[in-house]
Amino acid sequence: MDAPQFQPRYHWIRRSTQLGMLLLVVLVPTLGLFRIDFASASFYIRNLQVEWTNYPFLFGLTIVFVTAPIITYMTVGSVFCGWACPQNLFSEFANGLTHKLLGKRADVRVDGPGLIVAASKNKAVNWLTLGLAFLLASAVLAFFFLMFFYTRSDMWDFVTGASSRQPSMIVMYWMTTFFIFIDIATVRYLYCDYPCLYRVGLRLFRSRDALHVSYDASRAAECEKCNYCATTCITDIEPTNIRITDTCVDCGECIDACDRLHAKSGTIGLLRFKVGESESRMTWSKMLGRVFARSRWLVGAFFLLGCALMVWGGEVASQKISDKEKLQQEDRKIQRIADVCNRQCAELQATCSSKNMAGCYRASACVCTCKLQQDPTSPSGDALRQCVQNSSAHAQALSGDLH
């Protein structure tokens, strides 16, 4: 009987998570869930405008952005990098396509050992296909990146050529496309090593207490002359000797590779995810329990404080918008009543002149009476009634003088 086919534990789950995160990045601006508007110095969360002068929200957002990564550093390590970061997903995509078109050991990265291309695949058509694939991916990513800063209508006008800002948007779009192209084509994981602020923080706060890949050194004899796990590592490190400063992204590919190799002999691999110095084999429930138990209460408290400030700032923004809408409604109501009363008293207003002040007072009394009829509960009711009384008295007095 044939041995059952090996099923990787992490590869497809991780790939699904990465694609889900990429879908989220696309849907957030497409559905208008979040946008940064430099023109009005505001964040837009759905239809809620949060101005940058909204200090509770701004301070809360800053605290959350500082503490959330620290919590992940101290608990799940670099899982975000390997399982959710779009940069890593496209770096893997670029590596896979490069190896397919230019050879299994091809390397075109700026931090690589030099330009390595298989002689049999060093053809113009392969280079052209690779470049066009990278350019297409960059152009699509640039479009969705700009949607975080422009409205959906602005982007649609840009596509159709109807935008009044077409020249500036074209420059922004192709500059963004160019930088993404350079990143995908040549930078790739070098970005993680230097410019990425998340990785800088990871080096500062990560510890062996966090989730990491562990190697069973007691079975080292089974690894002699075997380099299988290292050949599958997406960041080119030694999974059997991972140092805390290495660029391990906790992807689990080395664990799957080791398990795949040992499955042929009916044994388990030597690599496992581990939290702290716990036993090498753990259930997911125990692992998650330890992960969350290791969250430092002080950092967690600051994170919750940041969330509370953001909620408070959101309420302030909502109230401000509500007050603005009420003011606009009141202005529209006043304008509507003024239009109705001006039409109703037009004949009297036509009689108003410097020679006929009585007509002016009668027109004024007519307008005030009309406004009271249109809005009996108006806060200016007393002033309007006084207007009717005084204007009528003046009109009557002037009419008496004329007689």
End-to-end, the C-alpha distance of the chain in Å comes to: 125
> What are the structure tokens assigned to 92, written together?
């893997």
Tokens 């059997």: give the residue.
240
Evaluate whether residue 9 is within a structural domain. Answer: no
> Which of these three, 276, 293, 310, is where a domain ends?
293
Number of domains in the chain: 2
Under the banding of pLDDT at 50, 70 and 90, the label for residue 285 is: low
> Which of these three, 293, 316, 345, is where a domain ends?
293
111-154 per-position pLDDT tens digit: 777 788 999 999 999 999 999 999 999 999 999 999 999 999 99
pLDDT at 288 (0 to 100): 60
Evaluate whether residue 223 is within a structural domain. Answer: yes
Evaluate whether residue 137 is within a structural domain. Answer: no
4-51 per-position pLDDT tens digit: 567 888 999 999 999 999 999 999 999 999 999 998 899 999 888 999
User: Is residue 288 located within the same domain as residue 349?
Assistant: no
CB atoms within 10 A of CB 22: 16
Single pTM value for the model: 0.75
> What are the structure tokens assigned to 244, written together?
């805390």
CB atoms within 10 A of CB 77: 26
Evaluate whether residue 56 is within a structural domain. Answer: no
Of 155-164, 201-210, 282-291, least confident by mean pLDDT is: 282-291
344-362 per-position pLDDT tens digit: 999 888 888 888 888 888 8
What are the counts of helices (DSSP H) followed by strands (DSSP E) for the chain?
16, 5
Evaluate whether residue 145 is within a structural domain. Answer: no
Which contiguous run of DSSP H or E holds residue 197?
helix 197-205
- Per the structure, the complete domain to which residue 287 belongs is given by 211-293
Evaluate whether residue 87 is within a structural domain. Answer: no
Shortest CA distance to 90 belongs to which of 218, 187, 194?
187
83/64 Cα distance (integer angstroms): 21
Evaluate whether residue 142 is within a structural domain. Answer: no
Evaluate whether residue 388 is within a structural domain. Answer: yes
